[in-house]
A = this chain, B = another copy of it.
Amino acid sequence: MANIKDIAKQCGVNPATVSRALNGQKGVSENVRSNILKTARKLGYSKNPLAASLITKKSGLIGLVVPDITNPYYAQVAKGVSSILEKQGYAIFLCDSDRQPQIERHYFEMLCNYRVEGVILMSVTATEEDLEIFLRNQIKVICVDNPISKKYSSVCNDNYQGACDLIEHLVLSAKVRRLVALMGTAEANTTKQRLRGCIDTLTKLNCRESLIEVLHITPTYQGGLEAASELEKLNADSVFCINDSVALGVFSYCQQHQIKVPQQLKIAGYDDLAEASMISVPLTTVHQRKYVLGQKAASQLLSELSNPLTTPIKIELLPQLKIRKSCGEDLS
């Protein structure tokens, strides 16, 4: 691979001049510059950003941490992030933590080692201390969907509000009386907020006792499938699932066991995955603008990168209740 010296030699100039010309800096006469550009093309030159970063301290790398890229929610956010960063020529360093804290921490270290300029962080497990490594290394972080630290900006969907809207519908329109909440780990931010929205709303509506049980499960399709039998034992008439994947799992169980939805069990999800509207009893759920969320996060990071002194901000996107058929109402 041709390098900057080769070009310098060919053109009979100094490597520094080549660097200036290639980077569009001023201080190079037009004919020298055009000559340099021409031979660069001729030699198939392409700059080594890794070498440049050693001096400029700008690696052009952005870390993207997700709990699970096969979860459509995270995939969509990732795509939003990617769409923005690609245009700006940044490279994405993908870190799928598989929801395991130790893998996540391992990635945090790697990200620092690779001198990423910033991190878009989607984490359900990371703590404020976990993020100190970025503070030490002066790496910008944008927390997505989980404002782990006030030292960093966050962009979130308003989980609390989404849950409030959904539960209100469940109580007032769907008339649920024996509700079970199928949540993720109790520490997870989404779980905390949605559960709080749920409980606050029930309390407000004077039917706190309708929530007969809160189960903390692995928030996946499989998790929902496995937890569904519990619902029968509890004689629940409805279930509020932490996300659509779980809801889909529960729904699948119902189909296998001839449990009628919504007659025998009302199912509410969260996220509005594409599949949610495809199943035979379309799922009532909460729509979140995932792609936009990713875009906002990336834009915010870029803005903080070019303007390092900004103080952290908080961006919240409002979710949207999607009433379909799985809770016995269809107003669409």
Contacts and interface: CB of A to CB of B under 8 A. Distances in A.
Contacts of A137: 1
A158 interface: no
A94 interface: yes
A314 interface: no
Interface residues of A, number: 54
Contact of A103 (B47, B69, B86, B275): B86
Interface in A40-78: 44, 46-51, 53-54, 59-60, 64, 68-70, 72, 75-76, 78
Contact of A255 (B59, B136, B251, B280): B280
Contacts of A82: 69, 94, 96
A180 B76 CA distance: 31
A114 B59 CA distance: 10
Given A50-B53, A136-B44, A274-B248, A98 B83 contact: yes
A36 interface: no
Q: In the complex, which of the residues A53, A136, A275 has the most CB atoms of chain B within 10 Å of its own CB atom?
A: A275
A79 B75 contact: no
A114 B49 contact: yes
A330 B87 CA distance: 48
Contacts of A92: 93-95
Contact of A91 (B75, B114, B275, B280): B114
Interface in A239-282: 248, 251-252, 255, 274-275, 277-280
Interface string A180-224: 000000000000000000000000000000000000000001000
A291 to B, nearest CB: 8
A277 B221 CA distance: 12
A77 to B, nearest CB: 9
A271 to B, nearest CB: 13
Given A44-B136, A110-B91, A115-B48, A278 B221 contact: yes
A201 B47 CA distance: 51
Q: Which of A54, A89, A109, A280 has the most CB of B within 10 A?
A: A280
15 contacts: A46-B112, A50-B50, A50-B54, A68-B79, A69-B78, A78-B94, A79-B98, A82-B94, A83-B98, A86-B96, A86-B107, A92-B93, A92-B95, A252-B277, A279-B279
